[in-house]
Amino acid sequence: MKTVTIETTERNQMIDITSIVQTYVRESGITDGVCYVYVPHTTAAVTINENSDPDVVRDVLNTLSKLIPYKDNYRHIEGNSDAHLKASLFGNTATVFVNNGRLVLGTWQSLFFCEFDGPRRRKVIIKVLGDK
């Protein structure tokens, strides 16, 4: 298991972490198995989405901001209810198969760390299980 630190710079941000996860898969020596990516935060998430066109990330973040605005009639005193809602929608885990020592992702797919209450210093935990 490996824990990596992600430094975010914006309140809402999606950061491609595919290369970080792939590096750990390679270092683990697992050739065939499964890779778990876990975000231990209630206002951050992880997802798989397109990374070919940066407008996809912009569209996702813009749409989320329209659907779940930063300021609304929330009761949570910390002022980050929108972040909790967004993180709940996306979830805190991603599971990716590993084949021949490589993450099995589609042509346009990447793993993204999703920040909804930044900027912050965050953790991502990666665990690879399988055969060497």
Name the CATH superfamily for 2-131. Answer: YjbQ-like (2.60.120.460)
Mean pLDDT over each residue of the chain, to the nearest integer? 97
Contacts of 94 (CB under 8 A, 6+ apart): 36, 37, 46, 47, 48, 111
Cβ-based neighbours of 98, under 8 Å, separated by 6 or more: 25, 30, 31, 32, 33, 34, 35, 104, 128, 130
Confidence of residue 54 (pLDDT cuts 50, 70, 90): very high
In this structure, the chain runs to a length of 132
Tokens of 24: 């750990």
| C-alpha span between 32 and 84 (Å, rounded) | 35
Sheet containing strand 44-50, strands side by side: 13-16, 109-115, 44-50
Q: How far apart are CA 29 and CA 81, in angstroms?
A: 40
Under the banding of pLDDT at 50, 70 and 90, the label for residue 95 is very high
CA 7 from chain centre, in angstroms, equals 13
- Percentage with pLDDT > 90 across the chain: 98
pLDDT band at 65 (very low <50, low <70, confident <90, very high): very high
Question: How sure is the predictor about 118, in pLDDT bands with cuts at 50, 70 and 90?
Answer: very high
Q: How high is the pLDDT of residue 115?
A: 98
